[in-house]
Structure 1
């Protein structure tokens, strides 16, 4: 027997038509996986799953199943939101850690630059060869005491055994007996000039040794051609006698108050 229904826009759809449409909607939901997990629930099993009409098997779904589907969808949405929030938090933490690391790096580099600058200034600084002393005989002072007819350096007042300092950064190029200079030390300075320290009672450095400003290199004395203990100091363009320049001007040009 064929089942038909009259056509017309004012005719209410038959129950078979409504049931078939609802079954199609349920089938569509089932394909998306939304109600796959609720099909075996007690609530679903308690309801008639198939209408025995002899026509088309139809799944019937009550309000409780719809509520479960809504709850599952809400839970999935909440999980997605939570996951997104966790990812955002991890990204923010990583950005903050990166900024902190960059800041720490900049601070470390600034400290290193400051330390290098301080060391550079220290190495470029000059000091007097005898602390808290004064020049007792000036440069180019004339007299028979000097073979050249004039003083080739300056004398610093100092008792025997007074500490003698390297006036700046340099390398020792000569030590030992220097004739009329007595025990002497010659240092090649970092600026290419040479300094000489004479009449020492003791030598505390050796050739090739690096020295820094203010470092003790020996003790003053009265060795060589002298009339009393003092330190003879020269500034030279070479390590040899006769290349002397004004030692007062040399020290003052490097910030030493002489």
Structure 2
């Protein structure tokens, strides 16, 4: 059959399009078995067609390579994003752990400081506390009682009932300024208290402290007795403004002012 070129504005398709259609047609014919009935000269590809076919194949290969590179880049980007997420999560957990540890440390420090303050306050209260010089006893002779037994004519302290050998305690915290024989007081102890006053303990059968020693409330300092000018075992207790005889103050009022029930 003879072909004539179309006239008018209709133009011949491009070489690439023609070649592409030829390849597609050949593929269709091969699939249907029609190639076998066509004369071989009609199927022969020109050098130009083979060259174009090779270029198309190269384009396909290059396209595949480009797609592979893009896919690889996409995978790398996804991996980097996943790594960033993992690192961000790890950093967040580390920061939360740090904050938790800091909170625990601050809480422990606050609790420790509170315990220290409580212990100091308890110690302060203990040191400022006062107790009776003889536990479970009572006053057998009052302050300023009159009698010829005393050189001043009146009692300069109070007497606590106590059998010989009864434990005698410091009524409060202080420092021993006298410990030994005190004439009419027999074996006696004088303590300078923390508030600047003085307390005296007389007629002791034994002395358990020495001058310069610090004592705490309720600490045993000696044992009661009947040494010195005494008609029987008891504890003579005085409160003074100085360590010397003659500076006595009412010992019952003194003890009650410090919370001791006598």
Fold in common (TM above 0.5): yes
Does residue 162 of the first structure (1) align with residue 178 of the second (2)? no
1: CA distance, partners of 2:159 / 2:84: 88
Residue 198 of structure 1 aligns with which residue?
Answer: 202
Indicate whether 1:228 and 2:232 are aligned: yes
Unaligned runs of 5+ in 2: 1-15, 17-53, 56-60
Cα deviation for residue 73 of structure 1 reads: 1.3
Higher helix share: 2
The offset of 1:66, in angstroms, is 2.6
SS in 2 for 1:191: coil
Rg larger in 1 or in 2? 2
Q: CA deviation at 1:80?
A: 1.1
The residue number in structure 2 matching 1:257 is: 261
Alpha-carbon displacement from aligned partner over 1:56-75 (angstroms, at most 9, x marks no partner): xxx92423333222112111
Shift of 1:137: 0.2
Give the distance between the partners of 1:159 and 1:66, measured in 2 at CA.
107
SS at match of 1:60: helix
Query: How large is the Cα RMSD of the aligned pairs?
Result: 2.1
Among 215, 220, 230, the alignment partner of 1:216 is 220
Shift of 1:188: 0.2
TM-score by length of 1: 0.76
Residue from 187, 190, 197 that aligns with 1:183: 187
Does the residue aligned with 2:176 lie in a helix, a strand or coil? Answer: strand
Aligned residues: 207
What does 1:1-258 correspond to in 2, within 5 Å?
A: 60-62=62-64, 63-258=67-262
Once superposed, which parts of structure 1, at least 4 consecutive aligned residues long, lie more than 3 Å away?
Answer: none
Query: 1:163 deviation in Å?
Result: 0.6
TM-score computed with the length of structure 2 as normaliser: 0.75
